[in-house]
Amino acid sequence: MPIDSTLHPEGVSNDEFRAAMSRLAAGVCLITAHENPLTPDGPGGEDVGMTATAFMSVSLDPPLVLVSLREGSRMDDLLAEQPLWAVSVLADHQVQVAGRFSMKNRISDRLLFADLPYVRGEVSGAPLLKGALATLECRTENRVEAGDHTLVVGRVLTSATPSPDSPPLAYFRGRYRHLAG
């Protein structure tokens, strides 16, 4: 990664901020949504997915979660139009899934989903990975612009734990990590 010593008015450089935040361990999720067809009689819509480490629980009553999306990303654009989306909390054996959906500047997600075992969410229509620690289906409640990202707050509509006993996948210091048992 190129050095980015851009100094913000607050006195923090991009590299300093990135280095500090890399020390915060995070869980890894696959955020998915189904893009509807462009026309009613045209080809079917496409599934879209992205890896996220900036995902968190916000509220128990009502059940709300938050995901941070890079402004202008395909997922950000889609969730501005499509209010239903899903989350699969990844287990450590799903590290290849995390890498696959974190690739930037890809043209289509169709091939990324081709060989993945998933079920389609009953409410969202979005892919929910088999073998995930937990799955959620959400409806967008609020979108907040925050710097170069959009914070999307979603109301949890369904929740399941397909593989609750698997170890979680973590992200720390710029790499996917396995937690010791």
Give the pLDDT of residue 180. 65
pTM attached to this predicted model: 0.89
122-178 pLDDT, tens digit each: 999 999 999 999 999 999 999 999 999 999 999 999 999 998 889 999 999 999 998
CA atoms within 13 A on the CB side of 122: 4
Contact 21, 173 (CB under 8 A): no
57-93 pLDDT, tens digit each: 999 999 999 999 999 899 999 999 999 999 999 999 9
In angstroms, rounded to a whole number, what is the distance separating the alpha carbons of residues 37 and 46?
Answer: 7
Contact 129, 112 (CB under 8 A): no
Q: Is residue 76 within a helix (H) or strand (E), and if so which, with residue range?
A: helix 74-81
Q: In the predicted model, what is the mean pLDDT of residues 97-126?
A: 89
- For 173, other C-beta atoms within 10 Å of its C-beta total 10
